[in-house]
Amino acid sequence: MNKQKRTEIFTRLRSENPNPTTELKFSSAFELLVAVTLSAQSTDVGVNKATDKLFPVANTPELIYALGVEGLKKYIKTIGLFNNKAKNIIAACKILIEKHNSIVPEDREALEALPGVGRKTANVILNTAFRQPTMAVDTHIFRVSNRTGIAPGKNVLEVEKRLVKFIPDEFLLDAHHWLILQGRYTCIARKPRCGSCIIEDLCEYKQKVYE
């Protein structure tokens, strides 16, 4: 796929949704950190239901740490892998309090040093909370990037690097959200909704299917 086609794809996605953001509910970088940690192998809807109850009670490292693992579990027990997630969040709170003055760090190395925070989670925090041009590649973005031909790759890291390289700079800050939404609601896994897709004529999926 050439630069002109990629530019047109993101121009259309921007026109349809000028200010995209995550569907996770948050009001601070710390709340986002907790929500993204909880979202692994879980839906945003499910995470929001849990944090709607948790955050009014505890939404700082000190307050969540004070709950303890068992106390936190009561709020997140409806979410998959909640046992491990509770342990990781409490451990992360301890590090934030002791090493970062309870402030979520703005650099990748410090973020990835937190329990439960991998490269994808760090990229979400850096992009959504701190507006850095990172690309968090989840299953939706991986599928859309390969299926459309925007940035094909054999693994998540390869796709991430190609997206950062190939997406025009003017779109890079918001591309993560546009691609997730495209994969979540239009370019779905089993049967993509091509007829309702605003970039259908630019996508290389049908071309591959019919060749």
Per-residue pLDDT reduced to its tens digit, 157-205: 999 999 999 999 999 999 999 999 999 999 999 999 999 999 999 998 8
Q: Given 138, 165, 206, 208, which residue is catalytic?
A: 138
Domains of the chain with CATH codes? 3-19+134-210 (1.10.1670.10), 29-129 (1.10.340.30)
Query: Quick one: what percent of the chain has pLDDT higher than 90?
Result: 91
Question: Does residue 81 carry a pLDDT above 60?
Answer: yes
Comparing CA positions, the residue from 109, 83, 114 lying closest to residue 96 is 114
Q: What distance lies between CA 83 and its chain's CA centroid?
A: 21
Per-residue pLDDT band for 207 (boundaries 50, 70, 90) equals low
Bin 10: left if φ > 0, else alpha if -120 < ψ < 50, else beta: alpha
**In angstroms, what CA-CA distances link 118 with 37, 140, 161?**
9, 17, 16
Active-site residue, 120 included:
yes
Average pLDDT of the chain, as a whole number = 94
Question: Does residue 208 carry a pLDDT above 80?
Answer: no
What is the per-residue pLDDT for 211? 43
Q: How far apart are alpha carbons 80 and 76 in whole angstroms?
A: 9
Q: Which residue has the higher pLDDT, 3 or 63?
A: 63
What is the per-residue pLDDT for 12? 96
Q: How far apart are alpha carbons 10 and 59 in whole angstroms?
A: 35
Q: Kindly report whether the global pTM for this prediction surpasses the value 0.85.
A: yes
**CB-based burial label for 167 (10 Å; 0-12, 13-18, 19+):** buried
Task: Tell me the mean pLDDT in the region 11-30.
Answer: 95
Task: Tell me the mean pLDDT in the region 132-156.
Answer: 94
Question: Does residue 206 carry a pLDDT above 70?
Answer: no
- CA 139-115-128 angle, to 5 degrees, is 50
Question: Does residue 109 carry a pLDDT above 80?
Answer: yes
Q: How far apart are alpha carbons 142 and 147 in whole angstroms?
A: 8
Per-residue pLDDT band for 210 (boundaries 50, 70, 90) equals very low
Model pLDDT for residues 47-77, shown as the tens digit of each residue:
999 999 999 999 999 999 999 999 999 999 9
User: Is there a contact between 3 and 10 (Cβ–Cβ < 8 Å)?
Assistant: no
Position of tokens 């505890």?
Answer: 58
Comparing CA positions, the residue from 112, 122, 110 lying closest to residue 36 is 122
Task: Tell me the mean pLDDT in the region 18-29.
Answer: 94
Q: Given 25, 120, 174, 206, which residue is catalytic?
A: 120
